[in-house]
Amino acid sequence: MTERTARGRWVGAVAVAMTLTVGAGCVDADRSVSLRSPASSTTTTTTPVPIPPGPTTTTVGEREVAPAEWQDCGEGFQCAELAVPVDHAQPGGPTLTLALVRQPAQDPARRIGSLLMNPGGPGGSAVGFVRNVAGSLPAPLQERFDIVGFDPRGVGGSTPVACEAGVAAMYEADPTIEDAADRDLLLQTSQAFVDDCEQRHGDLLPYLGTEDVARDMDLVRQAVGDDELTYVGLSYGTAIGQVYADLFPDRIRAMVLDGVVDLSRPGVDGARLQASGFERALDAFAADCQARPACPLADDPEGAIEQVMGAVEAQPLPANSEPDGVGPGLAALGIAQAMYSTALWAPLAQSVEAALDGDGTTLALLGRSYLSGPSFSAYFAVNCLDSEWPEADALLAAGKDVAGESPHFGEALVNDYVRCSLWPAEPNPIGPPQAEGSPPIVVLSTTDDPATPYESGVAVADLLPQGVLVTNEGAGHTIFTDGKSCIDDATVPYLVDLTVPADELRC
């Protein structure tokens, strides 16, 4: 592996397009890593997770769905489980289980129904998300709605996909290709991960796509007793919402999509767009650092990061928590993680300063926090089904091409999806929604969102027949749960009273 010191030529972050869902701006840094189930807690045995046999009382379409049986599960929340078909085309066949949670409406006499929320991923736990954020939502939402989350199939408390044992090794490999050794290690660790997923869950892998999740959500809607869906989806949760709107446009009461995935640009094209978003986020970080004399990298933030990345390409950086030191894979994860929220910009600057002095400990902690988030198994299980991907060598060549446009993030971000080139389940690509006959759908898009670039939200709002664009001027990934008054003033009356905000409002 050759050392890189030229400006603009370190290439670091892995694909994080829909991986972490954190709020922008003033979000607590801890929340940025709270939505993944820690990889260390994943079983390392090779016993497949069983799929319960049918029949099930839950059926598709307009057929009857048994009401959810809620039980107290602490801290003011109630929990339930719902059996859904593994294959929605065979409603009487094998089933899997969805885990549900709700915070009941605080004003039952004025209760509207349920507000379903999904934090993104793929692989993020909506159960954990609702437990974390329900109590901080604007009062009218807590008063008038049951706040409901369900873990998508393959995630968390639902029937899981758990093949994470090789994830750490996969992301410690150099995500950029300088020589045959880099290529071989990336493919070797990726194939080991894929083989483990196939061994454990081969029968379930074809049924984990976003269309399956959207159909599950319609069963959840019925199980909670709502005639129409009220939904807030963040990051990958916007993909679930778009597919739901395409399948069931007449079953929507209100829908907010925040940090929007553009389904018209799947696969490598979507990764290309996303890389540009991370480049803009890095520019925003650098500008912020240079504007603050206290920032330790104020003289040249990007140059300092590039110097660190060049150094770890040549030799691992010592770190107290890493016996083998910090290599380019782990360092890249730390930098990518910090792009999600401005709350992580100061820790990034401090970590890079320490790395320049020969200590990679805090940079490693940022990278490890990325690895402790949503399930990587579910992340690839969904993304590899939802899009078409080229063969491995063609994908790696595309990574080199994207690096020419996005030199800091492009190659490694594209290369992350080499797992999809190796994936054993045939893809079932989803496309942009038609959603004819839907009510107005509010789209929130942030100007310097790294993971779901602003233009994605613009495109989706324009594509939806009743799309309403609200622009958040700022940095970070998603904004809905951050308490920004302009956003709340646009979204809360819409969710409660169906008062649609002005199209192209800017906050």
The answer to whether residues 99 and 158 touch, using CB atoms and an 8 Å cutoff, is yes
Helix axes 210-223, 376-386, angle to 10 degrees: 110
The answer to whether residues 50 and 484 touch, using CB atoms and an 8 Å cutoff, is no
Catalytic-role residue among 235, 341, 375, 445 = 235
Catalytic-role residue among 416, 445, 477, 488 = 477
Chain Cα centroid distance, residue 482: 17
Look at residues 50, 21, 18 and name the one whose alpha carbon lies nearest to residue 33: 21
Element (H, E) at 229: strand 229-234
Element (H, E) at 133: helix 126-133
Catalytic-role residue among 416, 449, 482, 488 = 449
Helix axes 236-247, 210-223, angle to 10 degrees: 70
The answer to whether residues 150 and 116 touch, using CB atoms and an 8 Å cutoff, is yes
Look at residues 158, 125, 162 and name the one whose alpha carbon lies nearest to residue 43: 162
- The conformation of residue 61, written as its DSSP 8-state character, comes to T
Is 372 marked active-site? no
The answer to whether residues 375 and 172 touch, using CB atoms and an 8 Å cutoff, is no
Q: How many Cβ atoms are within 10 Å of 74's Cβ, its own excluded?
A: 8
Element (H, E) at 290: helix 267-290
Coil, strand, or helix at residue 98?
strand
- Residues listed for the chain: 507
Residue the block writes with tokens 């890593």: 33
Q: Token pair for residue 108?
A: 């039952």
Is 477 marked active-site? yes
Phi then psi for residue 322, to 5 deg, are -125, 105
- Ramachandran region, residue 49 (left: φ > 0; alpha: ψ -120 to 50; beta: rest): beta
Active centre residues (catalytic): 235, 449, 477
